[in-house]
């Protein structure tokens, strides 16, 4: 069933326009950088211009003398109090976890690492004073290439570790008892395809640069931060800097995008906090875009070696994956875990009987990597979907047909895969059928054949990505068993005020997702109150103090569950009051559309809002009923959420110029039941755009000395409106069986699905020329060079 056939009666399923928009379209938003407090000082941070160097001297005397400068300090000045930035995921017991001082003390390990801080009465004076700081560096060798970094005798990023290897993590289905032995499977395979794919380094590039304001009052220290994770920030400030947790309040006001890039405990947060404590004054730090590109964490940057064994009929028999993952100079919050979040997904939607996965994390003198939209899963999906296309080419089989022969059929769910995950639901056939219909798959294949036959200069490629992903992070027990420091539950508090209006506190922290709107829709249905009567509050540890924030497409999948449960408890708290007023047994009441009705007695009814007022007045409360109508609930998921879908992309490649242009793109996603289809569609649009950006446009590059060459939007080319196609989107709905609303996560799905669809299309266009891979991003230069290389390898003739 496709969603366009549905006509929702309640709020859930309706294209509600967003509550958030009113302030955002009128410029009345509270971005952190908008805050101005009496006596507030402005920070500027001096950053290392070297990728790797010893700091042999810093002279801040001249800077201290400058007009309006209040304080200048270095890492050495705060070495005893600045702590070390946290890594929350000990992926292996022997994980190498070097100290990560917020301000470098003796050595810098990536260009952009903070070295010294100026606090001044105004921002321009702080910047001016940076120029007057004198730093002496003794250059050390840059370590950039992961494979070279692992070689014997390679220069070390951290001398004290004795190695550049952070960890090696292995999964073997034979050892785990979830499948057969990979070596046996490959030895017996009739065909083995081996490929090496490169996941280039990306920069999340949220539009709002990071900003922090800290106000150290004698009662409490308040931090406003442009973060996805205020609850995490408060915990780590308390745990690592010694200020008691109850004396810290962290607020994420309006946050201008994150995409995982603000899922971090940052050096800048620590530095601003320390400065405010040191000077007993409010302090603000806002990064420039150039600083953001250098110092906010990057994403991806992996080398993937994939081998698939199969029979001649296309049945896959084994999957081997070896990953090298670039950690950068230090481990940040989830740096080592990010590549491993993909490790359950390399098998995709296919029934592999044997699997081995190995991942090695490598230190280099580059900006640390960490979560970026999809975090591990886009990489996994890319590898398997690219490799399935390559296997199809090897077998001379239609790539969709190869997928059909190997995917989990809709009647096989729940299905336990070779990695040990149990996929709860899905209908890959339905999503694929719908996508192929919208895409006019067969017509495009015919046109492709005609162009190939004619030898057209512009060739047409068709790219497929049939994906699933695991999201809704995450079951606490699972996280704990894998060495993660926190849990994965979520909470909601719902309170009905005496006038019947409703306040909701959520532990999720939206930064563009529209939780205020979607949560209002859910509450409106659950309590039978108008959408407009619900106010949703989030992102402040003082008010919504119980929560684990927003990332990993978890907010609706986990937080939405808690919200439904909190509403149910509110109804149950109101029930005795309604029964008391109606002089009946509570069990005789049914609750429909906000009314308690006596079964079998039409007309006898009390609304929940009447109950709220009567409870508040407390003049005649039944025994045991408290004088307020509110409830808390939490939810710890028992398993992940498994959205899936089929994305199809048609690309025209000009074989003379190398220009690859997307001609059409169809995305049919199954995210279970959509609470707000308009918002779901927006998430898919944005997700697909970021996936296309990886395929065609974006790459963070370093020169041989470790200088970031893509440090501004001039060189790091995030796509503009004219670079992107109009997408055709639709959904199938296979409700998530374990969720009260049937909803699955959607925030990352588009990004996870789209990159391989685009690159498969580019490669598909060029296969007759002998091209088997194009390294991302598939820029005209790279496509052209790949074509030239293939032509010369084939003696100038098409294969």
Interface ranges with other proteins (CB under 8 A): 4, 15, 17-18, 20-29, 31, 33-34, 123-124, 205-209, 254-257, 259, 288-290, 438, 511-514, 677-679, 681-682, 685-690, 712-714, 718, 720-722, 724, 726-730
The answer to whether the bond into 694 is cis (omega within 30° of 0) is no
Q: Are the CB atoms for 435 and 648 separated by under 8 Å?
A: yes
Nearest Cα residue to 374 out of 423, 324, 339, 422:
339
Query: What is the closest distance, in whole angstroms, from the C-beta atom of residue 214 to other proteins in the complex?
Result: 19
Closer Cβ to other proteins, 351 or 440, answer by number: 440
Cα 489 from Cα 115, distance rounded (Å): 37
DSSP string, 225-268: E--S-HHHHHHHHHHHH---GGGEEEE--B----TTTTSS--HH
Tokens 């992309």 -> residue: 649
The residue written with tokens 């995210």 in the block is 671
Which of 210, 227, 216 is CA-nearest to residue 265?
A: 227
Could you tell me the smallest distance in angstroms from the CB atom of residue 497 to other proteins?
26
Cβ-based nearer residue to other proteins, 26 or 160: 26
Q: Minimal distance in Å, beta carbon 787 to other proteins?
A: 28
Q: Helix axis angle, 608-617 relative to 561-582, nearest 10°? A: 70
Token pair of 325 as six digits:
């993952």
Residue 764 CB, shortest distance to other proteins, in Å, is 23
Closer to other proteins at the Cβ: 686 or 780?
686
Give the DSSP per-residue string, 299-362. Answer: EEEEEEEEEEEE-TTS-EEEEEEEEEEEEESS--TTTTHHHHTTTTSTTTTB--SBEEEEEEEE
Alpha-carbon distance of 358 to 378, in angstroms, equals: 17
589 three-class SS: strand
Nearest residue (CB) to other proteins, 95 versus 127 = 127
Beta carbons within 8 Å of 437's beta carbon, 6+ residues apart: none
Residue 31 or 616: which CB sits closer to other proteins?
31
Residue 266's CB: how many other CB atoms inside 10 A?
25
The pair phi, psi for residue 118, each rounded to 5°, is: -115, 130
Based on CB atoms, which residue is closest to other proteins, 96 or 284? Answer: 284
Nearer to other proteins, 123 or 415 (CB): 123
Report the residue number, 16 or 739, with the smaller CB distance to other proteins: 16
Nearer to other proteins, 257 or 483 (CB): 257
* Nearest residue (CB) to other proteins, 290 versus 657: 290
* Dist CA 720 CA 693 (whole Å): 10
Q: Which is nearer to other proteins, 96 or 511 (CB)?
A: 511
d(CA 236, CA 583) in angstroms, rounded, equals 52
In angstroms, give the least distance from the CB of 245 to other proteins: 29
Q: Give min distance, CB of 118 to other proteins, in A.
A: 18
Nearer to other proteins, 20 or 424 (CB): 20
Minimum CB distance to other proteins smaller for 249 or for 373: 373
CB of 722: closest distance to other proteins in angstroms?
4
Length of the chain (residues): 799
CB of 400 to other proteins, least distance (A): 21
Q: How crowded is the C-beta side of 643, counted as CA atoms within 13 Å?
A: 36
Pick the closer one to other proteins by CB: 513 or 544. 513
- CA-to-CA distance for 464 and 467, rounded, in angstroms? 9
Cβ burial of 38 (10 Å; 0-12, 13-18, 19+) is exposed
Smallest gap from Cβ 20 to other proteins, in A, equals 7
**Helix, strand or coil for residue 771?**
coil
CB 166 within 8 A of CB 362: yes
Angle between helices 399-406 and 428-439 (to 10 degrees): 170
Closest separation in Å from C-beta 2 to other proteins: 8
Residue 615 burial (10 A CB sphere; 0-12, 13-18, 19+): buried
Instruction: List beta partners, residue 475.
Output: none
Q: How far is the CB of 13 from other proteins (least distance, A)?
A: 12
Beta bridge partners of 669: 645, 731
CB of 294 to other proteins, least distance (A): 12
Which runs of consecutive H residues, i.e. helices, occur in 68-207? 123-130, 146-150, 173-176, 182-188
**How far, CA to CA in Å, does 664 sit from each of 334, 717, 729, 792?**
36, 22, 11, 31
Tokens 């499977």 identify what position? Answer: 185
CB of 228 to other proteins, least distance (A): 11
CA pair distance 451, 466, nearest whole angstrom = 26
| CA-CA-CA-CA torsion sign (761, 766, 771, 774) | negative
Measured from the CB atom, the residue of 229 and 766 that comes closer to other proteins is 229
Q: Is the Cβ of residue 320 or residue 514 nearer to other proteins in the bound state?
A: 514
Closest CB to other proteins among residues 160, 722: 722
The Cα–Cα gap between 769 and 788 comes to 9
Give least dist CB 713 to other proteins, A. Answer: 4
**Would you say 514 or 594 has its CB closer to other proteins?**
514
Least Å distance between CB 114 and other proteins? 18
CB of 43 to other proteins, least distance (A): 15
Pair 648, 757: CB distance under 8 Å: yes
Rounded to 10°, the helix 441-454/428-439 angle is 50
Task: Return all residues near 38 (Cβ < 8 A) that are at least 6 apart.
Answer: 282
What is the smallest separation between the CB atom of 23 and other proteins, expressed in angstroms? 8
Tell me the closest approach of the beta carbon of residue 403 to other proteins, in angstroms: 23
Tokens of residue 42, six digits: 């402005």
Give, for 753, the enclosing helix (H) or strand (E): helix 749-766
């Amino acid at each position: 069933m496709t969603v366009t056939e549905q006509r929702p009666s309640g709020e859930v399923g309706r294209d509600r326009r967003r509550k958030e928009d009113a302030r955002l379209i009128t410029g009345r938003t509270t971005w952190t950088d908008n805050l101005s407090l009496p006596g507030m000082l402005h920070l500027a941070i001096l950053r290392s211009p070297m990728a790797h160097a010893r700091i042999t001297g810093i002279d801040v005397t001249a800077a201290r003398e400058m007009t309006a400068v209040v304080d200048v300090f270095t890492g050495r000045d705060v070495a005893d109090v600045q702590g070390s930035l946290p890594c929350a995921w000990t992926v292996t017991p022997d994980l190498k976890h070097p100290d990560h001082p917020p301000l470098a003390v003796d050595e810098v390990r990536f260009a952009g690492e903070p070295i010294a801080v100026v606090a001044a009465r105004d921002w321009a004076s702080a910047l001016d004073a940076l120029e007057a700081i004198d730093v002496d560096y003794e250059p050390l060798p840059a370590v950039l290439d992961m494979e070279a970094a692992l070689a014997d005798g390679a220069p070390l990023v951290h001398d004290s570790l004795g190695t550049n290897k952070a960890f090696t993590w292995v999964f073997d289905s034979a050892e785990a008892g979830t499948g057969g032995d990979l070596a046996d499977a490959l030895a017996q395979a009739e065909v083995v395809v081996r490929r090496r794919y490169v996941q280039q380094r990306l920069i999340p590039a949220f539009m709002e640069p990071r900003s922090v304001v800290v106000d150290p009052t004698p009662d409490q220290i308040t931090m406003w931060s442009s973060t996805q994770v205020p609850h995490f920030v408060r915990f780590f400030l308390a745990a690592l800097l010694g200020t008691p947790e109850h004396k810290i309040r962290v607020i994420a006001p309006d946050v201008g995008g994150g995409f995982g890039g603000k899922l971090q405990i940052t050096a800048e947060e620590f530095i601003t906090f320390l400065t405010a404590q040191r000077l007993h004054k409010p302090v603000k730090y806002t990064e420039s875009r150039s600083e953001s590109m250098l110092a906010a964490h990057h994403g991806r940057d992996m080398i993937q070696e994939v081998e698939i064994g199969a029979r001649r009929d296309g049945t896959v028999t084994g999957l081997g994956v070896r990953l090298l993952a670039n950690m950068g100079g230090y481990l940040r919050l989830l740096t080592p875990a990010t590549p491993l979040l993909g490790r359950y997904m390399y098998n995709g939607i296919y029934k592999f009987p044997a699997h081995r996965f190995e991942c090695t994390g490598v230190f280099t003198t580059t900006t640390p990597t960490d979560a970026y939209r999809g975090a591990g899963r886009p990489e996994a999906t890319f590898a398997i979907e690219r490799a399935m296309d390559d296997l199809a080419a090897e077998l001379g089989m239609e790539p969709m047909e190869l997928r059909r022969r190997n995917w989990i059929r809709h009647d096989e769910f729940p299905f336990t895969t070779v990695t040990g995950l149990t996929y709860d639901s899905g209908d890959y056939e339905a999503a694929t059928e719908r996508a192929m219909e919208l895409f006019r798959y067969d017509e495009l294949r015919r046109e492709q054949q005609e162009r190939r036959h004619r030898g057209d200069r512009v060739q047409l490629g068709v790219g497929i990505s049939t994906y699933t992903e695991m999201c809704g992070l995450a079951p606490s027990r699972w996280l704990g068993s894998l060495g993660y420091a926190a849990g994965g539950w979520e909470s909601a508090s719902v309170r009905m005020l005496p006038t019947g209006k409703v306040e909701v506190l959520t532990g999720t922290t939206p930064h563009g997702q529209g939780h205020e709107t979607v949560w209002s829709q859910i509450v409106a249905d659950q309590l039978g109150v108008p959408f407009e009567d619900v106010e949703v509050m989030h992102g402040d540890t003082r008010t919504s103090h119980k929560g684990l924030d927003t990332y990993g497409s978890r907010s609706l999948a986990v937080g939405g569950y808690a919200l439904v449960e909190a509403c149910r408890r509110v109804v149950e708290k109101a029930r005795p009051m309604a029964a008391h007023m109606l002089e009946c047994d509570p069990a005789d009441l049914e609750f429909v559309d906000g009314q308690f009705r006596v079964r079998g007695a039409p007309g006898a009814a009390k609304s929940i809002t009447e109950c709220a007022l009567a409870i508040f007045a407390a003049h005649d409360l039944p025994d045991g009923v408290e004088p307020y109508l509110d409830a808390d609930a939490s939810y710890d998921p028992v398993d992940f959420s498994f959205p899936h879908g089929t994305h199809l992309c048609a690309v025209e490649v000009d074989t003379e110029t190398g220009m690859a242009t997307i001609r059409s793109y169809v995305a049919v996603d199954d995210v279970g039941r959509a609470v707000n289809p308009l918002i779901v569609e927006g998430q898919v649009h944005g997700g697909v755009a970021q996936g296309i950006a990886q395929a065609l446009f974006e790459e963070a590059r370093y020169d041989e000395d470790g200088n970031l060459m893509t440090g501004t939007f001039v060189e790091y080319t995030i796509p503009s409106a004219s670079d992107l196609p109009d997408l055709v989107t639709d959904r199938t709905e296979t409700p998530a069986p374990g969720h009260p609303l049937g909803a699955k996560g959607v925030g990352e799905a588009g990004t996870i699905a789209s990159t391989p669809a685009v690159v498969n299309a580019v490669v598909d266009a060029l296969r007759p020329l002998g091209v088997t891979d194009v390294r991302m991003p598939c820029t005209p230069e790279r496509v052209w060079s790949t074509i030239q290389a293939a032509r010369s390898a084939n003696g100038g003739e098409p294969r």
